[in-house]
Amino acid sequence: MPSQPSKTLETFPNPAPERDYQIHIEIPEFTCLCPKTGQPDFATLILDYIPDERCVELKSLKLYIWSFRNEGHFHEAVTNRILGDLAGALSPRFMRLTARFYVRGGIFTTVVAEHRKPGWQPAPRVELQDFPLQTNIR
């Protein structure tokens, strides 16, 4: 049986809940419909999150994203809806969804929405010195 779109987001236990680490997902084929004209809107979604106890299962994410294909949504509304659904399913420490909609009528739109778990603070970023390669080793 072929896959069907679904609003169900499946999760699995975070394999390393003791540490903060980033999960980066790019979804270059998001589509929904313009609620005014019914014409298709295309976007690349970029999801970055720091999981807490749960991670999103990627096939369910694909089917969830697919479920918007025939629905009318304003860019701002659909971006915040997807972020809200993902944050609700995962309760991540931090999550950012960037939706880069392709040009329509000469206008590009990018919507960025964030979720932060109450009380969570990121660890300070560590910058490491970049050393040049030694080419004259004797």
Fold annotation for 11-15+28-42+54-116 = GTP Cyclohydrolase I, domain 2 (3.30.1130)
pLDDT single digits (tens) 13-35: 999 999 999 999 999 999 999 99
Size of the chain in residues: 138
Label residue 33 left, alpha or beta by phi (over 0 means left) and psi (-120 to 50 means alpha): beta
Structure tokens given for 121: 């603070």
- Per-residue pLDDT, 83: 98
CA–CA separation, 126 vs 115, rounded Å? 23
Mean pLDDT computed over 98-110: 93
What angle is formed at CA 83 by the lines to CA 18 and CA 55, rounded to 5 degrees?
A: 30
28-72 pLDDT per residue, tens: 999 999 999 999 999 999 999 999 999 999 999 999 999 999 999
pLDDT band at 11 (very low <50, low <70, confident <90, very high): very high
**pLDDT at 1 (0 to 100):** 60
Q: What's the pLDDT tens digit per position in 70-87?
A: 999 999 999 999 999 999
Helix (H/G/I), strand (E/B), else coil: 132? coil
**49 bridge partner residues:** 23, 95
Single pTM value for the model = 0.89
Beta-bridged to residue 47, according to DSSP, are 25, 97
Q: With 90 as the cut, is the pLDDT of residue 102 above it?
A: yes
pLDDT reading at 88 higher than 90: yes
Which residues are catalytically annotated? 34, 41
- What is the spatial distance between Cα 12 and Cα 83, in angstroms, rounded to a whole number? 18
- Calculate ∠ Cα 124-83-15, nearest 5°: 55
Look at residues 49, 61, 42 and name the one whose alpha carbon lies nearest to residue 100: 42
Start-to-end CA span in the chain (Å): 63
Band (132; pLDDT cuts 50, 70, 90): confident
